[in-house]
Structure 1
Amino acid sequence: MGVANKRSIAWGCAEQIKAQGGEVVYSYQNDRLEKRLLKLGLAEEEMVECDVASDESIDAAFDQVKEKFGQIDGLVHAVAFAPKNELEGSILNSSREGYLTAQNISSYSLIAVAKAAQEKELLAPKASIVTLTFIGSERAISNYNTMGIAKAALESSVRYLARDLGKTGSRVNAISAGAMKTLAVTGIGGHKDLLEQSRSLTVDGVNVSLEEVGNCCAFLLSDLSTGLTGDIIYVDKGVHLS
């Protein structure tokens, strides 16, 4: 969930899952994003419409997935959104409506899809759910503001979901990915400075790649990571050490 183009972290995850022999079903929010996925060479039978802001849309999408493919072994949640004015300047400029939108799409949606997947018995035994976060959840990053707060809520949701879904054998983890040139990052004011600052803080002077984040995601979805749940895994070349 969350592919917009080939620079999306969700795309990097999907590519590495397929490289390990996995099959991937892609979700899209609306017709505009469906056209983007088709341009990436995906077939319609690989895709399902799902707007995470709508419980009805989530239910319909998961019913379709279960009918076509049966139970799934993993779910990747790489969905986030905040109005642009919620990112810029001071957090004191945040509006109630914009704040709630960011929380709804970027944080609550993980709970919504996990709940629907469990209720519909979509998750196979030992299924794994992976979401994407960013270090702005724990540090005050310029021009991140409301999204940083939403990511903090997302990370807390991971821990509570891990506790409750663990009772049925499912795992929930998050990847805290380093900054890279994705569609989401380019929407942040001063994103070039953010990328350069991130690069300067990496241990080898090179920002993390989509492939590296995707490799971690494939690992977390696999049986090689059955001992991990409720964790935030940093894939940022050591930026979080600074």
Structure 2
Amino acid sequence: MNPSNFLAGKKGLVVGIANAQSIAYGCARAFRDWGAEVAITYLNEKAKPHVESLAKELEAPLFLPCDVSQEGELESVFAAIEQKWGKLDFLLHSIAFAPRDDLHGRVVDCSRDGFLVAMDISCHSFIRMAKLSEPLMKDGGCLLTMSYFGAERVVENYNLMGPVKAALESTSRYLAAELGAKGIRVHAISPGPLKTRAASGIAHFDELIEKATERAPQHQLVTIEDVGGICAYLVSDMAKAITGNRVYVDAGYHIVG
């Protein structure tokens, strides 16, 4: 099967590429391979050189800074999209952050400020993106965000990000309910552990990877390409009757984890 035209004519925004190992890059690559145009963001000037070559490879017509903690940057991204395209068909939110001390400690010990920062960047930013996407998705669309199994079950060393991702998954369901009448679909994607830069911040991550490989029914890790393929399908018209789901891409780990 050649899916090269399944997303022809569609235009999407991908937020969260840090390098070629990022889940967001795997998704952007799949969107482009399936025929979509993608706008790409980078966190800041330090991150820009690591993302710029990928944006060129993806032929991104828009390559913009987007630090959701900086006043006005997210709004500027959507203003540029409106000016360039006048519409948006899909969005991928693949950003998360918690201060190191709060991430590596017990949840019961996390600081108020650390918790609020983690929730703001990892969860509330998705709400903000949904609000900005809504008027641009005149003919419907799809919003995707990245979660993890630690949102529903306690995963050792995942710590503060567990409650934060649980909030993100709940948010995705409420957004799906609120935006469904406009044809806007929303999903939380739950990949198995991948060796990304973001994951490297989790304590004893190599042990988590090893356990996941042992326990998953397929006894393998998933790849960013695996996640990208599912996401490309979900934003396509073939999935227009699907919304509000937690979508596992984890070699079956969630059924035994």
Please indicate, yes or no, whether the TM-score normalized by the shorter chain is above 0.5.
yes
Q: CA RMSD in A?
A: 1.4
How far off its partner does 1:44 sit? 7.5
In structure 2, the CA distance between the partners of 1:16 and 1:145, relative to structure 1 (3 Å rule), is same
Identity of aligned residues (%): 39
Q: Does 1:138 align with 2:152?
A: yes
Alignment of 1:42-121 (within 5 A): 42=56, 45-54=61-70, 56-118=72-134, 121=135
SS in 2 for 1:195: helix
Q: TM-score, normalised by structure 1?
A: 0.95
Q: Specify the alignment match of 2:24 in structure 1.
A: 10
Q: Specify the alignment match of 2:236 in structure 1.
A: 222
Structure with the higher fraction of residues in helix conformation: 1
Q: TM-score, normalised by structure 2?
A: 0.89
Unaligned runs of 5+ in 2: 1-14
After superposition, what is the alpha-carbon deviation per residue over 1:139-176, rounded to whole angstroms, capped at 9, x for unaligned? Answer: 11122111111100000000110011112211111110
Higher relative contact order (CA 8 A, sep 6+): 1
In structure 2, the CA distance between the partners of 1:112 and 1:55, relative to structure 1 (3 Å rule), is farther
- Residue pair 2:55, 2:63 contacting (<8 A) in 1 also: no
How far off its partner does 1:53 sit? 2.5
How far off its partner does 1:135 sit? 0.4
Q: Specify the alignment match of 1:209 in structure 2.
A: 223
In structure 2, the CA distance between the partners of 1:12 and 1:124, relative to structure 1 (3 Å rule), is farther
Distance in 1 (alpha carbons) for counterparts of 2:252 and 2:127: 29
| Structure 1 residue identity aligned to 2:86 | G
| Structure 2 residue identity aligned to 1:30 | N
Q: Specify the alignment match of 1:34 in structure 2.
A: 48
| Structure 2 residue identity aligned to 1:18 | R
Which stretch of the first structure deviates more once superposed, 129-138 or 88-97?
88-97
Distance in 2 (alpha carbons) for counterparts of 1:72 and 1:45: 13
Q: Specify the alignment match of 2:246 in structure 1.
A: 232
Q: Specify the alignment match of 1:162 in structure 2.
A: 176
- Residue pair 1:82, 1:101 contacting (<8 A) in 2 also: yes
Runs of 4 or more, structure 1, over 4 Å off, are none
After superposition, what is the alpha-carbon deviation per residue over 1:42-101, rounded to whole angstroms, capped at 9, x for unaligned? Answer: 268431222222462221110011111221110000011111112213222200000111
Distance in 2 (alpha carbons) for counterparts of 1:187 and 1:67: 37
In the alignment of these two chains, the number of paired residues is 240
